[in-house]
Chains A and B, each alone.
Chain A
Amino acid sequence: MARRLPQGGRIDRARPIPFSFDGKALSGFAGDTLASALLANGVSTVGRSFKYHRPRGVFGHWTEEPNAILDVTRDGRREPDARATTVYLEEGRTLAAASVNAAPDAERDRLAVIDAFARFLPAGFYYKTFLWPRWGLFEPAIRAMAGLGRLDPGWLPAAPAAPCNRACDVLVVGAGPAGLAAARSAAEGGRSVLLVDDRREPGGVLLWRGGEVEGQAAEAWIADTLAAIARAGGTVMSDTTAYGVYDHGLVCALQRGAEGAPDRLWRIRAGHIVVAAGAIERPLVFADNDLPGVLSAEAGLAYLRQYGVLVGERVVVAANNDAAYPVALALREAGAHVSLVDNRPAPRLRRLAEDGGVAVLAGERVVRAEGRRAVRAATLASGARIEADALLVSGGFTPTAHLYCQAKGKLAWDDALLAFVPGAPVEGVSVVGAANGVFGLAAAVAEARAAVAVPKSGGAPAARDPAALDAAPAWPNGDAGGRAWIDLQSDVTVKDVGIAARENYASVEHLKRYTTLGMATDQGKTSNVNGIAALAAATGRAPGEVGTTTYRPPYVPVPFSAIAGLRGGERMNPVRRLPLEARHRALGATLGEYGGWLRPAYYGPGDMTEAVAREIRAAREAVAVFDASPLGKIEVIGPDAARFMDFQSYMTLSTLAPGRMRYGFMLEETGIVFDDGVVSRLDENRFRVSCSTSHVAAMHARFETWRQDQFDPARLFIHNATTHWATLAVSGPLSRLLMERLSIVADLSDAALPHMAFVEGRFAGGPATVARVSFTGERGYEVSVPAARAAELHERLLAAGRDLGVAPLGIEALMALRAEKGFVVVGLDTDGTTMPHDLGFGGPRLKRTGDFVGKRSLFTQAAEAADRKQLVGLDTVDGAPLPRGAHVVARDGGRLRSEGFVTSSYASPALRRPVALGLVARGAARHGEEVTLRHLGRELRARLRPPCAYDAKGDRLNA
């Protein structure tokens, strides 16, 4: 059993930190990770496996960890599937860890019985078994049994952090010996340097392997190098994982918030990326190699040197390379009884190990781990059996070249190193040290310094020396009997790989998807190469011929909250705010988002129906004030403005007199209605386009595009003045009376200002435009003043109209008013097939001689088809409102066929009945016809009529 030694490690024994695991109170020290603290407390089973619910213990010591995946609740916030190996204990913060996929806990998991049926659950089992009659019947139960952590649906990051951008000449990833050396060289060479490292303390492998670097003891060399980097202006960021390389060299890094600070995303642009991310040890694969107590050899050393934890009293180290020897010697020195089982017949370090008190069994290998809940012994190929409470395995090292691969680098198999190593260089990316397959300390440091000597160069060809590790093949094969585990996190055995190969999932990508090898939170950091080798053996190929799966970001799991940063809740898609918002709120407005703006839906107490009816009455019987400020005000200015407007618009606009306005459409080149609106001619060379609120940005971009593409940009200028002006629409039979009380300096008489005309005058010492337009059908004025004067205008209107019964008008009432009049909202009453002649505006199509946007498309076979859907009004026959979306149906033989649908539907207080608009095939010729509608299984009857249901002659415009 693992235990804490009385001294040693980089922990602070003066600062104990309590924590809990599966409800049990435990204690660790500052500097501990959750994994080291669990081992120090003798916890051997930390969770149950994904598929078979087998007991699993800590295997690794950092991001590669496949087993110790825990739900970690810190200060009340739960992070699911955290790797215990990378979670630090922190003073002053509560930490409760819970095992996943185990109930009630990892020790007593009820579903452990599944493991007894394992031979019935091979790779592909679920695919094959539950296809019939359908997967959906079985899915809930299977999902409940499988899976890892539990999400806390109520979880929200307490203080999300905004992603930060950063640029530098050289980004070094990894603060091990190679990374530190590269950063120092680059910084001292005058380049701006950012060094990121995912641990809290820089030093990388030196923290547990120690050694001598450039003539100095590791500890002193790290300190000197960090000081030199700082002196030269370089920056070191710890707790920061560079997890992805994206297009054009963008590197994204996750900075884990220490001491409760939020996680933060960094977007880094570097001229030169130096990947010094080290290498990850591979397990050896033998029967029952998943028992708690089987750890990577590197982890055994890391727990000893960093945390003062001895992983066992009787330790078997099984290896195929030289890197395990210092591990065996260190554990022996720390008091363990150590045997080293080496598959190489004549290891050159044998004498060194034996001199240090380690028993070496050369040319021998472990074929089985024994024990029920934890390792008790190792069985060797010769049949010998060694009692052990820890079994440390080293099957060689896999360079951590993920970032190089993400940057479109291609790995090549090195048969001497027994590893995939970076192949052809990628511009702007250097891979150095163990990440590049250079395992000697001195060679790695030399390579790192050389890589940054010339800016952006890939450096010299790697000085890879197979003798540095002297690894011998020790690939998984099926000869051991029992279950030999390749992927501990996804529960994939050697046999599963064999099944996949037999069923012709012979491509490595297929293998991954069929067996789930290399999936889940560890992404196969310890298992991929063994899986590739097993597939190679099963299909008679070399590992290099099988190749790797595609490396994609992220290297480690990244919380979405860090990627989202501040873009959540109200900030997800911020609404635009009216200058009058405070006044609307004071009037009791209920605000809602309309076309991207936060606008008053209706005013005052009571439910919406009552409020809307009240407001409609005011508009029809007295006077109402509507905040139309978000309505587009795009100005087209210049000597070619009239020609431009004619080309842009469906209606002719060059014939418009200055001071006059015209309603019309803008079309797409496909002839489809893009937007409608009123265009004012301010003077000979200046037009203002009042497009729909939701179309302002698109209309502006459209105008700019045509201006630059088809016109002389020097003779045209497009200016979006929408937010410069606040616009209040005053509407109703008493609107003229109210306008006269406003003291606007302008001639507002009907002679000077008829319907569809405007005047420019003064209000409160500033400019004001008054236009006679109406979206309600009543006499109406639109008053536009600079946004800063909006409040004054609004206040004066409501105060001056009190005795007239003036009321503020919300957008819901306005929508009903315009539906009574049959005025369309583009995108609501039109769809992606609607052309202007479908809306009753066929004149310009037939009469206009010049070209305009979309013209040709109005004369295609489809545009001239007899059964086009046309705008109609619909009156309910039995009094029931017609729901929006209800389809007008016709019988076509025995089948129902849609002839169109309801696009708008409102209660009409003025008409005392519901009003609806719709698009119906041949609708314009079918006024008076009674039709059947269907909606969600219900049948309704309606009569078709012209779109306008209220004041068809338009008398009220001048009432």
Chain B
Amino acid sequence: MQIFTCPFCGARDETEFRFMGEAGKQRPEGGRAVGEAEWAAYLYLQRNEKGPVREIWMHQPCGELFLLARDNVTHAAEPGVGLRPEGA
């Protein structure tokens, strides 16, 4: 069982966390005007890289999203980083 570090609660078992998506994906602006290919890429395309990845996870007990940099081969995981700067 892996240990991830929530920036708010500290180190916890992986079962407390939920994967939300790859980091860096932007929701296309424009509603109905967004191009079909752009919208399809937003919905369905993942980078799915091997090795070091940056992902958004939620720590379910506290409900906070954060950035998790980890390696999906070695399973090394850096401490999570909050999505907003301190005090914002």
Contact = CB atoms under 8 A, between A and B. Distances in A.
Interface string A684-721: 00000000000000001100110011100110001000
Contacts of B60: 701
A246 B1 CA distance: 6
Interface in B25-42: 27-32, 34, 36, 39, 42
B54 interface: no
Nearest to A851: B31
A858 B27 CA distance: 16
A718 B58 CA distance: 15
Contact of B75 (A248, A669, A705): A248
A860 B36 contact: yes
B43 A670 contact: yes
Given A850-B31, A855-B32, A856-B39, A708 B1 contact: no
A250 interface: yes
Given A250-B1, A850-B31, A705 B20 contact: yes
Nearest to A713: B84
A704 B58 contact: yes
Contacts of A700: 63
Interface in B1-19: 1-3, 14, 18
A248 B1 contact: yes
A669 B18 CA distance: 19
A379 interface: no
B65 interface: yes
Given A709-B65, A856-B31, A856-B34, A247 B75 contact: yes
Contacts, number: 54
Contacts of A857: 39, 43
A638 to B, nearest CB: 15
Nearest to B40: A860
A138 interface: no
B64 interface: yes
Nearest to A848: B31
Nearest to B3: A248
Contact of A705 (B30, B65, B77): B65
Nearest to B4: A248
Contacts of A246: 1
B32 A859 contact: yes
A492 B29 CA distance: 65
Nearest to B33: A856
Interface string A525-536: 000000000000
A708 B75 contact: no
Counting chain A residues whose Cβ lies within 8 A of the other chain, the interface size class is 20 to 34
Contacts of B65: 704-705, 708-709
Contacts of A669: 42-43
A700 B61 CA distance: 12
Interface in A239-286: 246-248, 250, 267, 269
Contacts of B32: 855-856, 859
A710 B58 contact: no
Contact of A708 (B2, B29, B42, B64): B64
Most B CB contacts (10 A, CB to CB) among A250, A718, A856 go to A856
Nearest to B20: A705
Contacts of B3: 248, 269
Interface in A815-865: 850-852, 855-857, 859-860
Contacts of B43: 669-670, 857
Contacts of B36: 860
Given A710-B27, A856-B39, A701 B63 contact: yes
Contacts of A851: 29-31
Interface in A218-247: 246-247
A857 B39 CA distance: 8
A851 B65 CA distance: 23
A572 to B, nearest CB: 16
A710 B28 CA distance: 12
A424 to B, nearest CB: 14
A111 B58 CA distance: 59
A557 B29 CA distance: 55
Contacts of A859: 32
Interface in A628-682: 669-670
A705 B31 contact: no
Nearest to A269: B3
Q: Which of A248, A855, A857, A860 has the most CB of B within 10 A?
A: A248
Interface string A125-140: 0000000000000000
A247 B27 contact: no
A709 B23 CA distance: 11
Contacts of B83: 708-709
B64 to A, nearest CB: 7
Contacts of B1: 246-248, 250, 267
A269 B30 CA distance: 49
B62 to A, nearest CB: 10
A863 to B, nearest CB: 11
Nearest to B82: A708
A860 B1 CA distance: 42
Contacts of B29: 851
A705 B58 contact: yes
A248 B76 CA distance: 8
A709 B75 CA distance: 26
A708 B27 CA distance: 14
A558 to B, nearest CB: 16
Nearest to A850: B31
A670 B58 CA distance: 21
Contacts of A269: 3
A709 B34 CA distance: 20
A704 B31 CA distance: 21
Contacts of B31: 850-852, 855-856
A247 B58 CA distance: 20
A701 B39 contact: no
A855 B28 CA distance: 12
Contacts of A713: 84
B73 to A, nearest CB: 10
Contacts of A250: 1
A852 B2 CA distance: 36
A666 B17 CA distance: 24
B84 to A, nearest CB: 7
Nearest to A861: B36
A713 B84 CA distance: 10
A669 B41 CA distance: 12
A708 B88 CA distance: 12
A271 to B, nearest CB: 12
Nearest to B36: A860
A383 to B, nearest CB: 57
Given A701-B58, A856-B34, A247 B18 contact: no
Interface in A864-915: none
Contacts of A705: 20, 58, 65
B36 to A, nearest CB: 7
Nearest to A849: B31
Given A851-B30, A856-B31, 4 more contacts: A267-B1, A669-B42, A709-B83, A855-B32
8 contacts: A247-B1, A267-B1, A701-B18, A701-B63, A704-B58, A851-B30, A852-B31, A855-B32
Interface of A: 246-248, 250, 267, 269, 669-670, 700-701, 704-705, 708-710, 713-714, 718, 850-852, 855-857, 859-860
10 cross-chain pairs, A with B, having the tightest CB-CB distances, nearest first = A851-B31, A247-B2, A704-B63, A708-B65, A250-B1, A856-B39, A248-B3, A248-B2, A856-B34, A855-B31
